[in-house]
Amino acid sequence: MNILDGIIKSHSGELSSLLVDKGFNLEQAKQFLPAAADQVMKAAPQEGIAGLLSGSGASVVAGLMQKIDVGALASAAGINAEMATTGLNALLPKIVQLLGNDGGGLGALLGGNDNLLGGVKKLFS
């Protein structure tokens, strides 16, 4: 399980509610969440989660929206592409926030070279 899967699982109720507010039923939300997490990881920069956290929230969301294969996501979740796009627009800002892109949490740990991840990279370089 990657960190994004953990966030999806620990916040599944909140994230499902965002989808239900956009017209999903609970079964659709249940299928959409892991499929969306998979597409986000595929669309993430080569650096993975650390790369996701390197930009501002809005720029990260916009970049992901350009890279995510909405058709594949829709197919995996059993919904149409329009609904998948609506779901992504609802979820991505919250997921980025939960990952810590708003200046705290994981973002503080992964943010720059003088941090935990930078130290780990130096150890293995």
Whole-prediction pTM: 0.73
Decide: residue 5, CB within 10 A, 0-12 exposed, 13-18 middle, 19+ buried. Answer: middle
Percent of the chain whose pLDDT exceeds 70? 68
Task: Write the CB contacts of 105 (distance below 8 Å, at least 6 apart in sequence).
Answer: 98, 99
**Residue 37 contacts residue 5 (beta carbons within 8 Å):** yes
Q: In terms of pLDDT, which residue wins out, 111 or 76?
A: 76
Whether residue 36 has pLDDT greater than 90: yes
Average pLDDT over residues 28-36: 95
**Rounded distance between C-alpha atoms, residue 61 and residue 66, angstroms:** 9
pLDDT score recorded for residue 115: 40
pLDDT band at 46 (very low <50, low <70, confident <90, very high): low
- 108: pLDDT strictly greater than 80: no
The answer to whether residue 96 scores a pLDDT higher than 60 is yes
Average pLDDT over every residue of 19-37: 95
Q: Is the pLDDT of residue 5 over 50?
A: yes
